[in-house]
Structure formats: C-alpha cells, structure tokens
A and B are shown apart, each in its own frame.
Chain A
Amino acid sequence: MALQQRTRLLESFAAHAVLIVAVAFALYPVLWVVALAFSGVSEPAPRVIPVPIEPTLEHLREVVGSTQVVGGETRWLFGLQLANSLIVSLATALVGVGIAIPTAYALARFDFVGKRGGVKLLLATQMFPAVASAIPLYILLDWLSLLNSRTGLVLCYATTAVPFAIFQLRGAFETIPEDLEEAAMVDGATRFQAFIRVVLPAARPAIAVTALFAFMSAYNEFILAATLLGREEMYTLPVVLQRFIGEYDAQWEAFAAGALVVSLPVMALFYVAQRHLVAGLTAGSVKG
C-alpha cells in the first residue's frame, strides 16, 4: 500500500515536472515580449529571466494612442485599424462558414455529378501558399476597384477560408447520423427543417471551431493585407505591427507592446469559446 502510494506520488511528480518544462518552453518567448513591452530602456540587454527594466506604459500608450490628421481633423488611427481587423476577421468567418455550411452538407449527404472532381479542386486550392495568389488577387481587386477596401480583403480571405471550412464541416456532418434527420422528417419536418433544427444544432461545436479558425487566420494574416492595403487608415493590425520594424530601424519595444494589444481580442475569444473547442474536438462522440 505505502509503496503503491509512493509510486503514484512519484509518477505525479514526474508528470508535473514534464508539464512545467513544456509550459515554460512555450511561454518563454511570450514572457520576453511582455518584458520588452514594459521596459523603459531602449534595447535592453538579454537576460535569463525576462523582467521589464525601468517599467513604463509609454510604449503601450504610443501604440494604442496613434492618431492621424485628415483635413485638420484628428482621428484615432489605432482605433480605426483595430476596427478594420475585427470587421475583416468577423466578416471572413461569417462568409466562410456561411458558404461552407451548405456546401459541406451537400458533400456529406448527397451524391451528384461532379462531386469527386469538385472535392479535388477544393483540395487543390489548399495546396498553394496564399502568397502565390497575391499578384493575381491584386490585379483582380484593382479591376474590381476593391483595392484598399475591407470588402476586397474579405473576398480574398474567403478564398482560403471557404475550402478549409468546407473540409472541416464536411467531416463534422458526416459524424452526425442520418437517422437523426430521418427521424425529424418522419416526425413532420421538411428536409430543410430537419437540417436547420436538427443537423445544425448537432454540428454547433464544429461550426464554432471552424468559425474561430477562420476568424483567427484572417486576424493574423499579413502578406495579403500588406499587399492589398495601401492607406494607413485601412491597415489591419498585423500590417500596423510590421511598420514598427523598418529597414534601418526597429522599434522593438513598440512592436512588443503592439503584439500584446493585438493578441488580447484573440485571447478573449479563445476564453469564451473554450467550452466549444473541447466539445468540438470530441464532436464525434455525440450519439443519440
């Protein structure tokens, strides 16, 4: 008995040791960012334990408080850019999931001419890096007069978000037993009602996760945003951040402070969606 208890204690200790090392490993760079963001000294010397030197909120204020003067009127530039990021990301998630839901459902449930070919095409779009399409997208948006606009950016993001969401959701719909829809139809629902009232709620965790991924990939995207947005007040946050690192001069403290601010919405979103995330990962176990 005592021996067993000691073994268990040892096991627990070992497991925690491994976990602590892993967490430290993952958090260390983040801690450096935090230290930099609050340091009052420019380019502090590297130290083993990252703590702010001469702590200050100056960099945060500098990043968040950026302004722009247009026609004699001072505008809160950072606010505009934050709004850009949120609007574009939210729209990408909505458009992506909105288009993907019916498509994925059709792929999961029906047989139709061109299904296999269509899936292959979708898969093909996933194989090219987004950069490869940057120039064609630029030309297309220019042609549509959508350069420097949130709509244009959302359209571009949707081209990658939609196929990804389709694959995610198709898998989710396939795990939902057809019996459920059939039961609903015998119970008096039309096929569409069965879809809305039974399939969608049953797939809610997967849909939430997919929307979250679409939101995040848009929120973090840099290259297309940097290519397609030319005016400062249209920038999304990754582009803003990048501007702190110039060719000859890098404002690392401002960059770090910006990075912190930029991650806050995502962290909040993850916190809210946590429950769904876990549920989404185990969605396959939903059984009648």
Chain B
Amino acid sequence: MVEVRVDAIEKRFGSTQVLRGVDIHVPDGAFAVLVGPSGCGKSTLLRLLAGLEEATAGAIRFGARDVTRLEPRARDVAMVFQSYALYPHLTVRQNLGFGLKIRRTDPATIRARVDEVAAMLGLEALLDRYPRALSGGQRQRVAMGRAIVRRPALFLFDEPLSNLDAKLRAQVRVEIRRQHDELKATSIYVTHDQVEAMTLADVMFVLNGGRVEQHGSPAEVYGRPATRFVAGFLGSPAMNFLDATIERAGARVYAVAGDPGGDGRLRAVVPEGQFGRSLHDGERVVVGVRPHDVALAPEEAEPELELTTGLVELLGPELQAHARLGDTPITVCLPTESRARRGERLRLRVEQLHLFDPDSGASLR
C-alpha cells in the first residue's frame, strides 16, 4: 500500500522518444488505469514503474522512497504480464510460491500463503499441474495469484485480459476489481480497452504520443474530455466530429454545419454558459456529438441535426444508424422503437455537444 508519484518521466530508446515528460499521481490504495492507443507509451511507463526499464529523465516515488534507479526486486511490486509469464517448468504451487521462495520465506509460511491464495482464486485443484495443462483463464488466475501471494505494496497489470475471450474477459474484469476492493493495494493497470479503463479505474490517465492528455475519474474524463483525442478515444461507437461555424442569432448561439438541401445538416443550440469564453459569430469550431447524445426531435420543434440514414444496424435494445454529413460519416444510436429505416430522413435533437478548437484540438470549455 503506497502512493505513487511519477514526475516528468522521459524515456528514449535510441533516437525514439517514447515518453515525453509524464506526471502521474496515484493515491494510496487507488486503482489507476493507463489507457491509450498502441504506441502511446503506456506499457513503457508500466515497465518503468516495475524497474524493467530505466528512465532517461525524471523521478518515480513510491511513498517517500525514490525508486527511480532501483532494481525490480527492490521495489516491492508485483506484475501480471499480458502473456502471464508462468514458469513452464514449475507447477502451479511452485509458480505461486516462487517470489516468496526466492526471498527466503520459510516453507511453512509459503505453504500457508499459497494455500490461502489458491482458495481465494479457486486454484486448489490445479496446484500440482504444470502451466501447459491449464486453460487460458486458469493461467490468468495463476498469474494473478502469483502477484497476490507476495502481498506487494503495488500491483502492476499489463493488459492482463487481452488473451481471454470476450465472455471470460468480462468475468475476470469484475473479479480483478473485487480483489482490489478486498486487498486495497494500490494498482496500476495498462489497457487499450476503454471498457476496461472505464469500469476498473478510480482514476484514469489517457496517454497519447508519450504524454498524458487527460486524467481524472472515468466519469470526468468521459463527460468532459479535455481534447478531441480523448473525446474520440473514449466511448463506443466513437464520438462524431463535425467542422462547424458559430452563428449568433439574437440571444442564441448555434453551431452550424452542412446545408439545408444536402443529405444532412447541423444547427445545434450551443449552451453558451457551459463554455468558458464567448464564441463570436463566424468562428470555426469542431463539434463533437456522441452517438448516444441524440434523440428524436418532437414533431413541432425545429431539428438540431437532420440526417438521411444509410445503413441501419439493429443491436437489440438499440439501433445504430449510419449517415453522412457532407464528407463526414456520422453514427447515431437510437432506441429500437424509433424504427429508423434506411433512406429515412431523421430529425434529431442534440442533447449534449462538445466544442473543440479546430487547430489545437483542445476543448473550448
């Protein structure tokens, strides 16, 4: 149990700079998720925390301890690898006990701790098996158990679910969070899967191009994305982005894109109070609308978004309608009862929109 502080960490491999000054603070006992597209540096950051790579610049602190230059074994961390990295020549029991044995824990304690963790994870029946005789899900649990047995101050997870099938992944995800709530050890979890990030995190860090683009609780980051990148990365289907122009008409402010005669048109009310600066007439902006943030407009009201639907996919409780606004593809999600059909003219209300600077991509909030 420890607080983790990463200050201005940089990592270069030869001439490639992977991390460009990353700051992270994970409070004691929190579950932090590092999320981002492949190549964003999240795994490298995790390996730096584990001590498997050495930082080019910056500092890493666990509580009061500066661990930046410490060997992995001196850091008191446990790591669950994507490949599980179970020792192939050792049985499950020996795998679980390896870390304790190498630290010269007495055999009776090892036995007790291994039995305890095996019971916790339902591994009792597998203790004498070798990893090759285990299924993917069982291997994953052994890898978890190997970390838990050690009772480390910090848990590190490197995409631990990516080798499981979808159903198992959802199960294990819940299991991981449950374990965390029980053990209350600080955990840092790397994933490129936004569902894992959203569901597991107390605090999430969205990385892009070797920098932290935004951090905060999943609700904050999802609800108030700081950049266009974050907005587009989180949420499924992804947020729609439209190049639009600000139009002031009397007391109201609109974001406008497309034209009335075309296959689609946006003329959405911008709640000016939500944006930190006043928008001027004719200003170019990027409008972001999540597919779920629209609803059918009432008959009598003027629609904020008009679309001619192309493909409609029925997903059960909802349907996804695909359309275009000029060259820009748009996806909206509507309740199945809306019975939207291919070729139909959809008249929609925009319930929430985001504005971004077209050049910097920063949110205009």
Contacts and interface: CB of A to CB of B under 8 A. Distances in A.
A197 B90 CA distance: 10
Interface stretch (A125-133, A148-156, A184-192): A184-192
B194 interface: no
A204 to B, nearest CB: 7
B52 A182 contact: yes
A187 B146 contact: yes
Contact of A186 (B77, B88, B89, B90): B77
Contacts of B132: 286-287
A54 interface: no
Contact of B79 (A183, A197, A198, A202): A183
Interface in A193-217: 193, 197-198, 201-202, 204
A73 interface: no
Instruction: Report which residue of A187, A201, A202 has the largest number of chain B beta carbons within 10 angstroms of its beta carbon.
Output: A187
Nearest to B134: A288
Contacts of A185: 51-52, 71-73
Interface string B63-78: 0000000011100011
Given A182-B52, A185-B72, A188-B102, A204 B89 contact: yes
Contacts, number: 79
B214 interface: no
A249 interface: no
B71 A190 contact: yes
A186 B79 contact: yes
A180 interface: yes
Contacts of B82: 179
A29 interface: no
- Give the interface size class of chain A: 20 to 34
Given A188-B103, A197-B102, A288 B87 contact: yes
A198 B87 contact: yes
B88 A188 contact: no
B287 to A, nearest CB: 44
Interface in A119-146: none
Contacts of B78: 186-187
Contact of B99 (A177, A187, A287): A187
A248 to B, nearest CB: 58
B225 interface: no
Nearest to B50: A186
A287 B134 CA distance: 11
A286 B130 CA distance: 11
Interface in B25-77: 50-52, 71-73, 77
Contacts of A182: 50, 52, 72, 79, 81, 85
Nearest to A176: B88
15 contacts: A180-B87, A180-B88, A183-B81, A184-B102, A186-B72, A186-B79, A187-B73, A187-B98, A187-B102, A188-B73, A189-B102, A190-B71, A193-B102, A202-B88, A287-B88
Which 8 A-B residue pairings sit nearest by Cβ, starting from the closest? A187-B99, A179-B85, A183-B85, A201-B89, A288-B86, A185-B72, A188-B73, A188-B102
